[in-house]
Structure 1
Amino acid sequence: MVVALCLLGVVETSAAQQPPSTSQGGRGGRGTGESAGVARLRVFDQAAVDRGKIVFGARCASCHSPSGRGGAAFSGPDLIRSVLVLQDANGREIGQYLKISGPGKGHPDFHDVTDAQIADVATLLHRDVTYAAERANYQVLNIVTGDPKAGEAYFNGAGGCNKCHSATSDLRGIGARLAPVAIQGLIVSGGAGRGGRGAPGPPATNDRGATRATITLPSGETVTGVLVRLTDFDVTIRDASGASRSWLRDGNSPKITVTNPLQAHIDLLAKYTDADIHNLTAYLVSLK
């Protein structure tokens, strides 16, 4: 895959993370107590990484995003998954590519970028590739740092959580049943995607978290069920009997009303502060 390193704009990259300080046990470490994965995160020259951040932020981030991962809002591809970057050695392949690219090929002019600067950017990218590969070595620290009382106030007040949930009903004992990190995940997702990889099809008809659709036919008849598929051309639901039913769509006919019981969680994503999430987590953890 040919990948351009678009070098425009002055945005400092946020791609860098800090490696975990230690790992208990693990596959390597040679007497250090670190896992082999964590040890691999420490082989990168931090000074080169820091210099690479500056160059990347000033010359690359506007096309490839500050994280180097691209995205819908950026014209450049994801460099962390780039074959060119993965096959690069000390900036050599990246440098060779930059020398043959330029304005004539729809890319910025890189003639003023030195070999040393390219090597620093390569070090940054290789370090971030390693972070992605070794993400399983990260340790989840204590996240119960909020104020339970403030969390309870948010639950019953600004958050509106009590409109759908109850500390004495569906959430009773949640602090004893689930780990804090799982509780915090449920706060954000509402339980969406709990099936994970390989989960069979749409949710069951009795799943309270399932998205449902009501189909109003031209005759006036209405049919409601779990939404299985909705496109511009057709809609499929599974009714209460478990049977799948489908209709072709012609504009707004039949009329379709979609109800997502997790919509409140989605709406809160734009409103949560860090304190809200930590306080709410602390409150739910206290429900033993």
Structure 2
Amino acid sequence: MISKSEMKIITLLGIASIAFGQPPNPQTRPPRPSSTQSPASKARPKSATPQQYTADQSREGEVRFGSQCGFCHGKDAAGGETGPDLTRAELVAQDSHGDKLAPIIRAGRPNAGMPAFPSLTQGELNAIVAFLHTQMDKFAELGGGRRSVEPSDLATGSATAGRAYFEGAGKCASCHSATGDLAGVGKKYQGLNLLRRMLYPTGQGPAAPTPAKATFTLSAGQTVVAPVVGEDDFSVTVLDPLGARQTYQRSAVKVKVDDALAAHFDQLGRYTDADMHNVYAYLETLK
């Protein structure tokens, strides 16, 4: 006979299924000549046109840049979560007192995901330009102290070996599919962002990993799956289809919690340096 707890689970939760496809053949990456210089190891550019800005202008620009642009480009303009390092940008180096930067800041670059800032005053624009040139020159004078890693710096592995590890020893294909959840991952993420997602796939927003799932086995043999929002030694709390939290005592039902991220954390102790770069190279081919 189905217990009251089991009836509640059947009523509130649904059963999910996952389909896997066959991954495409990885593209073979030609070996990078040893003489090729890493982009991140090249000398930083300096402003092509000598420009002088007051300390007050740069400080005002730092505040304005941090509030408007820092989320993407970093508060010091040296690169952020989604925006490039502007202290290395040729656009900044070739700019003269805002002749190239100001129009782009005002109009944005919609195709590149950069918003427009039409409400900025000319004084605010001038301050941001002053800050960018000051930062570029400052980092150029400091030298060394590499602040960024270019995608080509990480592209030292074999995509073929990476696919073999993905489908074999790494057991990645038991949860992931090159034509399913990972389709286009090499286009969506590049460089360090791709490596971070591969090693530590945590985060928020639409790209966040699937939460842990609780599988309830009922007395009649039926299984029901629901996303876990909390658990301890005595109970498991899940979300029902309406988004409400439901807590079940482990003593009342048979439950198994599967956390997809556990396999990633497990991998960290098994990856060799070669494995890591090979899998990265394979993921890069999934455009």
TM-score (norm 1): 0.44
Identify the structure with bigger relative contact order (alpha carbons < 8 Å, sequence gap 6+).
2
TM-score (norm 2): 0.44
